[in-house]
Structure 1
Amino acid sequence: MSMEGIYPVREGGDIFASDMVNVEAASEIVDIYEDATILITGSTGYLGKMFLEKLLRACPKVKKIYLLLRPKKGKEIAKRFEEIFEGPSMVPLKIANPKYLEKVAIINGDCSLPEVGIEDQDKQKIIEEVNFVIHCAATVRFDEKLKIAARINVRAVSDLLKIARQMKHLKGFLHVSTAYSNCHVKTIDESFYKPGISANHLLEIVEMLDEEILENVTPGLLGKWPNSYVFTKCVAEDLIKHESRNLPVAVLRPSIVIASVSEPVAGWIDNFYGATGVFLGAAIGLLRSLNGDKKNVAEMIPADYVINAGLAALWETACNKALNDNVESNEAEAENGNKNDEIPIYNVVSSPESPITWDLFTKLGETHAPKIPSDFQVWHYCFALRPNRIHHLIAVFLLHTVPAYLVDFLCYCVGKKPMMVKGYEKINKFMEVVGYFALREWKFYNKNVQKLWQKMSQEDRRLFQFSMNNFDWDNYFHYYSRGMRVYLLKDPLDTIPKGRIKYWKLFFGHYTLIAILLFLFYKFLSVLWSFLF
């Protein structure tokens, strides 16, 4: 397979940010997945696809990977399965392991249905064969209806744990949560926190009440949690605490997930969520204000570090299970420091070792984005973080709403479909969600993650990098900005000369408009002064 043009975020022919995996080198983590059967949920999502790709590429001796899939938006399961392996993120896998499809199979299922929609025959297959479960499936929409969020983010976890308890050869179960599941507290350690309601009680309520009544009582149920996503994630964690005793379960809590550092390709990103949407929206001139405090820490983590930490956490969980299985007495157990009822939690966050503030995030964007201007830019960069709510709303009205109505009016006059007003309604709604996290700051601890890193061999640290110690944010943003341009805007780097021309046109247009507005304002003040005095 030709690699030309596949990795356009890197220059000078250096297409990989890290070496290809050396399967001949000794790796305890790779070894734990040899001849293993793995079940992955959420494999069509960003993290799910990356877990799948890394396992197939770095652990080619894995026996089988089952993907829980359902039809969606008129697409059959087979089509969705094919789409998982499309695009540049899967090219390293196809080069390293051309026969990867022999290792992958589909399990028909749906996390929104009872028993995750798995038929008895497939359930029995999972019970008999699966060694590891990686549960990534979730609805990540912050404004999701509570009934849907509860079914997918809570009930599915309970159903999978019931199946896991029947698995004959289970070595590890990884539940992917979020670092903000407990955002109702300011200090977040690698421990469980009490939710506002138990899982069973929540599921009873959402199934008992009709949609209209449930929607009315949802704010009361959410309490201190800002949205249904983090609320149901917290409830799911509490469910795990109480329903996974004596199971080899680990909880992975990534913070805001951003583009990859190096794997599967440098700067890989396939969604506009969170900080990425802010960066890209500001870079192309669409986003001009965010209600946030630039002094606050912007808690975010590269996607490939999440994947590597997750696979390492599963390795540690499997090792601890093997150790516990070999314990012959309570005295030996105490000596080894292992307790079956302890469920490890891993806060995969950056702030304890390499914090980045929203101010630095903005400045790095201002540094790197103009070096690769896109022809899709709609206006010159004029973004600012505004901690004052009133100032932000004024800026949104003047810089988002007014221009949107003007552009739509011009489109209407020339017979084109107006879209800007509706577009900015969505953008402003998205910014309200992000603004909650940009206005606040949390203190995170990740001792379990740091201990896990220290426990790993040098080869495993090379293959499964996730330590944020002395992380180079400036170098990262070099590829982050290019990844967004190439993979989200679908604008290859060879169009930079064209983008640069547009950049300067918008630059002069922007400041010409400012000069005209200042002149008109000056004339208005002059007339007003003459009239009054």
Structure 2
Amino acid sequence: MDTTAIVGCFRNRSILITGSTGYLGKLLVEKMLRVQPEVRKLYLLVRAPDAAAAEQRIVDNDLFDVLREQHGADFQSVKNKIRPLAGDMSKENFGLGSSEIVHMSLQDVDAIVNSAATTNFYNRYDVALASNTTSVSHICEFAHKCPRLKMLLHVSTAYLTGYEVGLLPENLFQIGEARREGCHLDIEAEVQLMHKVKSQLRMSSSDDKLEKKTMKDLGLERAKHFGWQNTYVFTKAMGEMFLGHLGQDLPVVIVRPSIVTSTIKDPMPGWIDGLTRGLDTIIVGYNYQKLPCFVVDDDAFIHAIPGDMVINAMMVAMATHWGKPAHVLYNVSSPLHASVVLESMYSSFRTNPRTRANGRIIKNKRIPMFKKFADFRAYMILRYKLPLELLHSVNVLLGGVFDQYYRKAHKGYNSLMLLAKLYAPFSLFKGCFDNTNLKKLSMAMATSCENDDASSLFHLDTSCINWSSYLINIHIPAVLEFANASTQEKKAGRS
């Protein structure tokens, strides 16, 4: 399939997109409008008080600068292709009721792209279930009401494989399938358990903080019980199960990206709308020297993919399987040696060091990295926990003179330990995602690493990524710029 055929697939089509205010959602909306301005409508489901507020959340950012420049005064006509829907995908019928716009969209929709999710590893179980699991049942219900539907694309995550090692094939989940041997996963029972625990909490206490922590701990506990790393991947896995079970007669494509990084090229290098967990945490922590140590096996592989390549895969897969009644899965990922990440980070900071107000260079020390969580925990206990306990004893003897310092240090210790526990399964990951289906798509596109003409508009060949160059020249500067801007916004908000 060539570029013309892919772009032509979306001409005069109406597409419903969930998660359009998220990173991938924004990229998809921008690219769809840029490469196919003759798309009929993009219905964007947005959690907002009204349609006007929904539209503002989507297009009022620099991602659309290329589009603005491309169309000039006619940008408004392209913008008119967007039809925001203020709703909530965690509710039946997306909380849209039975309005005229709902009826119109049902009759009009040719494709649905579900890119909405809560990606917090340690989120409340009730929130994660609603956003990542039961919402899929609402999407399937909605899809069955769309007479013109030719495609349902669902964005998931490659890390649904749990703690498995070796080559991880592109296999679809079966309903009830757990990652832990001997376990059967009953999704409805999990939803009932969540409601039961929540109800019991509210009957015995009105403490919102207690409810929040209990819900967070419950999600992590249930995830590990069934063999998943955290609440996010666990609830996304259950969402896929719902999709396979309730949408078995729908034309479905599932795209599973690994760690999604900043754009490598399209529409501009280094565009980012948030920091990736794990990879960017290390980069930012090292920059500000606030990460004293971490758990990373520099002999292992981190699996990542630039955001624009995920969008390419999504659009090419949609066009390839348009109207075909089958379920197809794509792992969208590229193995990145952890040592390349670390050395690129050190090289970047040597070349562009931080400076003080007086112009003096701030020298960053290398962060101790541990290949085993047990070694990391032992180091943390000896280096930080024991001195903290000593400080606590002294503080008690002195009548609490160090209370504020102790609480801050203790909170920092607990936060780093939690961070390491959540990220260790990924930084010590021993699996490798099979991306055979993605390679087939790439080969069908007949592009090359040197090709820079129109046919590279949907470039998919991950082997062309020069990770060291990309990290040093594009991604790390983008991460630091975003982190600095976020810090300045927070300071401005407090002042």
For Structure 1 versus Structure 2, the TM-score category normalised by the shorter chain is: 0.7 to 0.9
Distance 1:29 1:293 in 2: 40
Q: CA deviation at 1:141?
A: 1.0
Distance, in Å, in 2 between the alignment partners of 1:460 and 1:135 is 28
In structure 2, the CA distance between the partners of 1:184 and 1:168, relative to structure 1 (3 Å rule), is same
In structure 2, the partner of 1:388 is: 372
Q: Which moved more, 1:449-458 or 1:375-384?
A: 375-384
What is the letter of the counterpart of residue 368 of structure 1? S
Q: Which residue of 2 aligns with 1:334?
A: none
Match of 1:488 among 476, 480, 483: 483
**Is the Cα–Cα contact under 8 Å of residues 20 and 45 in structure 2 kept in the other structure?**
yes
Per the alignment, residue 92 of structure 1 pairs with: 66
- Secondary structure at the aligned position of 2:238 is classed as helix
Against the structure 1 CA distance between its residues 88 and 423, is the aligned structure 2 distance closer, same or farther, given a 3 Å change threshold?
A: farther
State whether residues 3 and 457 of structure 2, in contact with CA within 8 Å, keep that contact through their aligned partners in structure 1. Answer: no
- The within-5 A match list for 1:69-108 is 69-71=46-48, 78-97=52-71, 98-99=75-76, 100-108=78-86
1:162 alignment counterpart = 141
**Partner residue, 1:317:** 321
Q: Shift of residue 198 of structure 1?
A: 4.0
- 2:366 is aligned with 1:366: no
| Deviation string, structure 1 residues 231-284 (Cα, Å, up to 9, x no partner) | 111111122222222311100000011111012221122222221122221133
Q: Within 5 A, what are the aligned runs for 1:72-471?
A: 78-97=52-71, 98-99=75-76, 100-121=78-99, 122-186=101-165, 187-194=167-174, 195-196=177-178, 197-210=185-198, 215=215, 218=219, 219-220=221-222, 222-274=225-277, 275-318=279-322, 321=323, 340=325, 342-351=326-335, 356-375=336-355, 380-396=364-380, 422=411, 425-456=414-445, 458=447, 461-471=455-465
Query: Identity over the aligned pairs, expressed in percent?
Result: 25
For 2:425 and 2:17, locate their aligned partners in 1 and report how far apart those are by CA, in whole Å: 31
Cα shift at 1:374: 3.8
Describe the superposition over 1:9-49 as per-residue Cα deviations: whole angstroms up to 9, x where unpaired: xxxxxxxxxxxxxxxx9611111111111111111111111
Judged with a 3 Å threshold, the aligned counterparts in structure 2 of structure 1 residues 138 and 350 are, in CA distance, closer, same or farther, namely same
Residue 461 of structure 1: CA displacement? 4.4
Decide whether aligned partners of structure 1 residues 192 and 484 sit closer, same or farther in structure 2, where only a CA change above 3 A counts.
same
**Contact 1:284 / 1:378 at 8 angstroms: preserved in 2?**
no
Residues in 1 aligned to 2:33 and 2:307: alpha-carbon distance in whole angstroms: 17
1:43 paired residue number: 20
Q: Answer whether contact 2:264 2:306 (CA < 8 A) is retained.
A: yes
2-structure distance, mates of 1:50, 1:211: 39
Check whether the contact 2:274–2:482 (CA below 8 A) recurs between aligned residues. no
d(CA) in 1 for partners of 2:119, 2:199? 20
The 10-residue stretch of structure 1 (213-222 or 276-285) with the greater mean CA deviation from structure 2: 213-222
Task: Look up the equivalent residue of 1:268 and give its one-letter code.
Answer: W
Alignment partners' CA distance in 2, 1:424 and 1:272: 22
Q: CA 1:381/1:48 → structure 2, altered by over 3 Å: closer, same or farther? A: farther
Match of 1:57 in 2: 34
Match of 1:8 in 2: none
Distance 1:429 1:81 in 2: 37
The answer to whether the 8 A contact 1:67-1:105 is kept is yes
Q: TM-score w.r.t. structure 1 length?
A: 0.74
Aligned pair in 2 of structure 1 residues 132, 457: CA closer, same or farther (>3 Å)? farther
Instruction: Please say which structure displays the higher CA radius of gyration.
Output: 1
Residue range with higher mean Cα deviation, 290-299 or 421-430: 421-430
**How far apart are 1:423 and its partner, in Å?**
5.5
Q: Is the 8 A contact 2:125 2:218 kept in 1?
A: no
Are the aligned partners of 1:144 and 1:229 in contact in 2 as well (CA < 8 Å)? yes
Residues 65-102 of structure 1 show CA distances to partners (whole Å, capped at 9, x for unaligned) of: 1111123xxx7663353132233322112222423321
Shift of 1:426: 3.8
Q: Is the 8 A contact 1:255 1:349 kept in 2?
A: yes
Residue identity matched to 2:426: F
SS in 1 for 2:154: strand
Q: Which deviates further from its counterpart, 222-231 or 29-38?
A: 222-231
Q: What is the alpha-carbon distance in structure 2 between the residues aligned to residue 436 and residue 378 of structure 1? A: 32
CA distance in 2, matches of 1:156, 1:55: 24
Distance across 2 between alignment mates of 1:479 and 1:395? 34
> Which runs of no fewer than 5 residues in structure 1 stay unpaired?
1-24, 325-339, 492-533
Distance in 2 (alpha carbons) for counterparts of 1:421 and 1:265: 42
Q: 2:474 aligns with which of 473, 479, 494?
A: 479
SS at match of 1:298: strand
Q: List per-residue Cα deviations over 1:329-382 (Å, max 9, x = no partner).
A: xxxxxxxxxxx4x3100000103xxxx221221111111233223459987232
Partner amino acid, structure 2, of 1:484: V
- Aligned match of 2:9: 32
Task: Indicate how the Cα distance of structure 1 residues 392 and 273 shifts in structure 2: closer, same or farther if over 3 A, else same.
Answer: same
Alpha-carbon distance between aligned partners in 1 of 2:133 and 2:383, rounded to the nearest angstrom: 40
> RMSD between aligned alpha carbons?
3.2
Shift of 1:171: 1.7
Alpha-carbon distance change, 106 to 398 in structure 1, aligned in 2, over 3 angstroms: farther
Q: What is the SS of the residue equivalent to 1:300?
A: strand
Q: Supply the distance in 2 between the matched residues of 1:394 and 1:31 (Cα, whole angstroms).
A: 58
Which stretch shifts more, 374-383 or 195-204?
A: 374-383
Gap change, CA 1:421 and 1:64, over 3 Å in 2: farther
